[in-house]
Each structure stands twice: as C-alpha cells, then as structure tokens.
C-alpha cells in the first residue's frame, strides 16, 4: 500500500553537535516529514491502517471530519487520490466553500467532496453517523 513516491522507511539523520560529540553521544532524528510531500509524518501513520482496512473491506469511499485548515483533510484528500478512494469531508463552518483557503482548494483538486456544516451541528456528530450509516451506505452511494 505504498506508492513509489513515498519514502518508506523515513530516513534517519545524524545531527552533529559539539556538546553531544564531546560526550560520545550520537543523536539521530527520524524524518517522517519526508515520507511524502502531501501525506507526511503522523498523518501517513494514522491513515495507513484505515486505508488498508478500507481496501480489505472493499470500500471505495472515505469520509472524514475536519476544520477548514485541517492537515487531516488535506492528507485524506491526497490519500484518496493516490490510493483510488473517493473522499468526502465534513467541514466545520457552513459559511465556507471549496475555494475558501489553500487547504480546501487542494482537497477539492484531489477530488474531495464537501459538506459544510454549522459549528453546533459539527460538534454533535451523531446525526452524521445516522445519515451516512443508513441512507448513503444502504443506497450503495457510499460503500
């Protein structure tokens, strides 16, 4: 489940510091930020297992929640694009649209669809689960 432009495992970089060297200490930094330009670090580590499970279960679409500037929305949209999943982002802030900022524009360009919701509704996600687990899943639109 790793496309060719991913750098897995992420590299270790030896940091040079006179104080550490004097004490005989080698200090390495694991550069997870270099895993991928759009799905790096902890975002890749969190998404990877969900992508594997979704593929195993035959799901074709991913649904996620986030704010308008969310790195998670950005990374999920990219992951969906690169791994062949449709994506839907439930975005906090019904005053927004897909051109509101660079994050949402990028996610839109990667194919993510959006539902913009009022902030109070976003906080109580129960009604989203009812809608998506019932209507969309059973209709076959979101499996």
Residue with the bigger pLDDT between 132 and 72: it is: 72
Q: Tokens at residue 129, please?
A: 């689960």
Res 67 pLDDT > 80: yes
Q: How many CB atoms lie within 10 A of CB 106?
A: 15
Res 132 pLDDT > 80: no
Instruction: Note the residue count of the chain.
Output: 143
pLDDT at 78: 96
Q: Please, what sign has the CA dihedral across residues 81, 83, 85, 90?
A: negative
pLDDT at 116: 87
The answer to whether 70 is a known catalytic residue is yes
Report for 35-44, 118-127, 132-141: range of highest mean pLDDT: 35-44
Res 58 pLDDT > 60: yes
Catalytic residue among 10, 23, 40, 70: 70
């Amino acid at each position: 489940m790793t496309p060719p432009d991913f750098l897995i495992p992420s590299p270790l970089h030896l940091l040079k510091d006179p104080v550490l060297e004097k004490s005989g200490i080698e200090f390495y930094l694991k550069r997870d930020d270099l895993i991928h330009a759009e799905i790096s670090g902890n975002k890749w580590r969190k998404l990877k297992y969900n992508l594997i499970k979704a593929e195993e279960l035959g799901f074709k679409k991913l649904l996620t929640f986030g704010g308008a500037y969310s790195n998670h929305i950005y990374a999920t949209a990219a992951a969906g694009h690169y791994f062949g999943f449709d994506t839907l982002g439930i975005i906090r802030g019904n005053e927004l649209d897909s051109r509101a900022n660079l994050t949402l524009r990028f996610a839109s360009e990667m194919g993510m669809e959006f539902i913009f919701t009022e902030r109070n509704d976003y906080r109580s996600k129960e009604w989203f689960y009812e809608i998506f687990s019932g209507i969309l899943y059973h209709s076959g639109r979101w499996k």
